[in-house]
Chain A
């Protein structure tokens, strides 16, 4: 609607500076674009010398932005589900187990997908870490750690290594060799050292750094090659149980959740705690970012999952039902972020409509607690790991009265 002078038809990333703000539709050389107010001012004063006005305008804009933030902070509450009222309701989703991966002799505690969309690594209570080609159900690699309760495992972005850790208070990296007979333990590299169990680990954008969370109440960033501690993150007042890296363009933040009921957002570069949310009534077992990076979800022992808007600095949705009594231990989003899958201690998995706040489906099938759910990197499958020693692949179908059948089973 470029023929109107409203300040903001839309809110989103500015076409000029990229920051998310209220946008103005303006014409530049007869082309319609969306700029935030600062960039509009800069654009309109282009006649001035570049070096001179840019600096003063920047200073003014910084103070204006601060003022804007303060003003925004004073406005009214609104819930996500109210705004989403006009969106169509999702048809009931049917979830069926399509495959079961058997091979662990004990509780499966963690799993992570490889970027190739079909391989995954899983770890269990008896110290075993297995790398599978989930599509063919083949075990490709296996290694046994000298400790029990391997709570954390992660696949490296290159697909050439895995990291895992647990009650040994360490996180170790194993390069995956092409030789199936080679004992992976020989190349094992001890990277992280905590003073209590390691609850979560993830590689950053490359194989060279890992981020860990620990029962000692801290998170830490490590250099894989040297084992050096690059940054540590202090702020939780109890065990940290989970962490997730932000998928943002600047790639500098991550969120962690712990037994102190807090979810904290950290700046990786400075080690500072930049945001904190204390909304749950019990331990937070898992945190996961929304695909755009502007929000995240958490799962807690209080039987709820919550959704937090990072820009508004507030929780905006709670996913709960009177009939759901047991704690949620794990969450993950579908590719578009419309669905949130949560695994619970009563052996079920619930799929929630993120925007409307309603439950779309429930899956009963595991015979013990669900410890981890993860959507594959291309969004085609959901894998769940459980204390019943198995991992399951779940297929989806929508009730036939929605559009052309795209796979109702």
Chain B
């Protein structure tokens, strides 16, 4: 069937080199100094920001690579066909017109090839459901067929699919017209390439499988972006990058910064409370954060989870001689049916843990601990961040005045 027409198979490094080279061109085009000039482009009556014209791209390519117009037209055409650049006018036609037609760069982490290795049918189903609702059933033939195949295949999740489609439509109505046009074009271009019409040119058809070159592990753009994002997120918290308030003690000889950030203080600083929202680990690593979280959990009658987690940590990192006694304590307090602070671990994990307890060792609680950790992380933690308790703390938190340095 046409759902997975793309021959993903054993692509080897040589075949992938072309994607790497295309990515390099795209990155160079977006270079702040030497790249293309982006400006507002007009699409009928709407103004689209950060766009460029087909003519701009060709001119840039000619200059950068010292090639003729024909070659530049060809290269830019390939960039559009592979989805690195998408058209705003006539989005169904993935062709580069060397005139004033507006184009935009696809997001860096949406490069088609990588996305395609994702096996889920969900996004494709949601897209078709959305289109179906919007066009009131007027889909193209191949889209209708796909829709019904998907409907059969993932029938058990269809309610969810329709619900998501409706939510997305609702959210998009709240956008400004320019943004809506851009996003619709972006989305349309993406699906045209990744789920092409049967019979249409399929750029992602890679031919026969070739044996894997297992030694050639490679890097994803998305992996590296996480480092960029992490550094950006923590930049304000890095005293070397941004200084620290009220002053850096090593420079000003004033220990106020440390006093304000002791392990336990009556009112924590704003940066510190903000940091708890970066990840669950940040919250737990800070004693005050953990304490506040415990208070919240007590209100929710799920404090036993955090107590259990802490007790497990104590076993993992504590003295070897006390392991047996600590494991017994945990069993008595948290795992026995009817225990005062019984924790809700799934039956399989519980069975495994209870069996392991008969021969206790340092890591016997690992599975149960992990289960409870993720339970807190996905459920209680996000709710805590939205709670009044957290919000009030953030509002009350101190932002110290910067003091002049000596």
State whether B23 touches A379 (Cβ < 8 A): no
Determine the distance from Cα of A18 to Cα of B381 in the docked complex, in whole angstroms.
12
State whether B217 touches A67 (Cβ < 8 A): no
Whether B120 sits at the interface, judged by CB under 8 Å, is: yes
Whether A56 sits at the interface, judged by CB under 8 Å, is: no
Interface residues of A in 213-240 (CB under 8 A from B): 223-226, 228, 230
Closest approach, in angstroms, between the C-beta of A397 and any C-beta of chain B?
A: 9
Whether A396 contacts B240 in the complex (CB less than 8 A), given A10-B109, A311-B223, A337-B234, comes out as yes
Residue in contact with B234 in the complex, picked from A22, A51, A223, A336, CB distance below 8 Å: A336
Closest approach, in angstroms, between the C-beta of A274 and any C-beta of chain B?
A: 14
Residues of A within 8 A of B220 (CB): 11, 72, 75, 78, 312
State whether B187 touches A18 (Cβ < 8 A): no
Residue in contact with A334 in the complex, picked from B31, B190, B238, CB distance below 8 Å: B238
Interface residues of A in 315-371 (CB under 8 A from B): 316, 334-339, 354-355
Determine the distance from Cα of A406 to Cα of B374 in the docked complex, in whole angstroms.
39
Whether B392 sits at the interface, judged by CB under 8 Å, is: no
State whether A77 touches B320 (Cβ < 8 A): no
Interface residues of A in 237-276 (CB under 8 A from B): 249-251, 269
> Which of A9, A12, A48, A393 is most buried by chain B, counting CB atoms within 10 A of its CB?
A12
Residues of B within 8 A of A223 (CB): 319-320
Closest approach, in angstroms, between the C-beta of B230 and any C-beta of chain A?
A: 5
State whether A40 touches B120 (Cβ < 8 A): yes
State whether B16 touches A74 (Cβ < 8 A): yes
Residue in contact with A27 in the complex, picked from B12, B167, B214, CB distance below 8 Å: B167
Whether A3 contacts B172 in the complex (CB less than 8 A), given A27-B164, A75-B16, comes out as yes
> Which of B218, B229, B363 is most buried by chain A, counting CB atoms within 10 A of its CB?
B218
Whether A204 contacts B237 in the complex (CB less than 8 A), given A4-B186, A77-B20, A409-B251, comes out as no
State whether B317 touches A206 (Cβ < 8 A): yes
Determine the distance from Cα of A273 to Cα of B248 in the docked complex, in whole angstroms.
41
Give per-residue flags for A89-103: 1 if the beta carbon is below 8 A from chain B beta carbons, else 0. 000000000110000
Residue in contact with A3 in the complex, picked from B183, B223, B229, B280, CB distance below 8 Å: B183
Residues of B within 8 A of A279 (CB): none
Closest approach, in angstroms, between the C-beta of B156 and any C-beta of chain A?
A: 5
Q: Identify the closest chain A residue to B320 (Cβ).
A: A223
State whether A6 touches B123 (Cβ < 8 A): yes
Q: Identify the closest chain B residue to A88 (Cβ).
A: B32
Residues of A within 8 A of B227 (CB): 80, 290, 292, 294-295, 309, 337, 354-355
Determine the distance from Cα of A1 to Cα of B171 in the docked complex, in whole angstroms.
9
Whether B49 sits at the interface, judged by CB under 8 Å, is: no
- Number of residues of chain B lying within 8 A (CB) of chain A: 115
State whether A314 touches B109 (Cβ < 8 A): no
A interface, size bucket: 35 or more
Q: Identify the closest chain B residue to A58 (Cβ).
A: B348
Q: Identify the closest chain A residue to B20 (Cβ).
A: A76
The majority secondary structure among interface residues of chain B is: helix
Whether A336 contacts B235 in the complex (CB less than 8 A), given A3-B172, A6-B190, A117-B258, comes out as yes
Closest approach, in angstroms, between the C-beta of B257 and any C-beta of chain A?
A: 7
Determine the distance from Cα of A335 to Cα of B282 in the docked complex, in whole angstroms.
13
Determine the distance from Cα of A117 to Cα of B316 in the docked complex, in whole angstroms.
26
Residue in contact with A18 in the complex, picked from B117, B235, B377, CB distance below 8 Å: B377
Whether B17 sits at the interface, judged by CB under 8 Å, is: yes
Which segment of B54-62, B67-75, B124-132, B295-303 sits at the interface?
A: B124-132
Residues of A within 8 A of B171 (CB): 2-3, 27, 32
Interface residues of B in 349-406 (CB under 8 A from A): 362-363, 366, 370, 373-374, 377-378, 382, 402, 405
Determine the distance from Cα of A354 to Cα of B230 in the docked complex, in whole angstroms.
12
Whether A8 contacts B110 in the complex (CB less than 8 A), given A82-B27, A295-B227, A379-B237, comes out as yes
State whether A75 touches B114 (Cβ < 8 A): yes
State whether B186 touches A250 (Cβ < 8 A): no
Q: Identify the closest chain A residue to B175 (Cβ).
A: A3
Determine the distance from Cα of A70 to Cα of B187 in the docked complex, in whole angstroms.
27
The majority secondary structure among interface residues of chain A is: loop
Determine the distance from Cα of A83 to Cα of B221 in the docked complex, in whole angstroms.
7
Determine the distance from Cα of A396 to Cα of B32 in the docked complex, in whole angstroms.
28
> Which of B31, B219, B243 is most buried by chain A, counting CB atoms within 10 A of its CB?
B219
Residues of A within 8 A of B228 (CB): 83-84, 87, 355
Residue in contact with A7 in the complex, picked from B27, B32, B123, B230, CB distance below 8 Å: B123
State whether A5 touches B160 (Cβ < 8 A): no
B residues whose Cβ falls under 8 Å from a Cβ of A: 8, 10-13, 16-17, 19-20, 23-24, 27, 30-32, 107-110, 113-115, 117-120, 122-124, 126-127, 130, 154, 156-157, 159-161, 163-164, 167-172, 175, 183, 186-187, 190-191, 212, 214, 216-235, 237-244, 247-251, 255, 257-258, 261, 279-281, 313, 316-321, 346-348, 362-363, 366, 370, 373-374, 377-378, 382, 402, 405
9 smallest A-B Cβ distances: which pairs? A406-B243, A44-B157, A71-B117, A76-B20, A336-B234, A336-B238, A44-B160, A3-B172, A11-B222
Jot down 26 A-B pairs with beta carbons below 8 A, ordered by A: A4-B168, A7-B115, A7-B123, A11-B223, A72-B114, A73-B214, A76-B17, A76-B20, A77-B219, A78-B20, A98-B251, A208-B317, A225-B319, A230-B362, A251-B316, A292-B230, A294-B227, A309-B219, A312-B218, A337-B230, A378-B239, A378-B244, A378-B258, A380-B239, A380-B249, A406-B243
14 more contacts with CB within 8 A, not counting A2-B171, A334-B238, are A2-B168, A4-B186, A8-B115, A17-B378, A18-B377, A73-B216, A75-B219, A83-B221, A206-B318, A208-B320, A312-B218, A334-B241, A380-B257, A406-B243
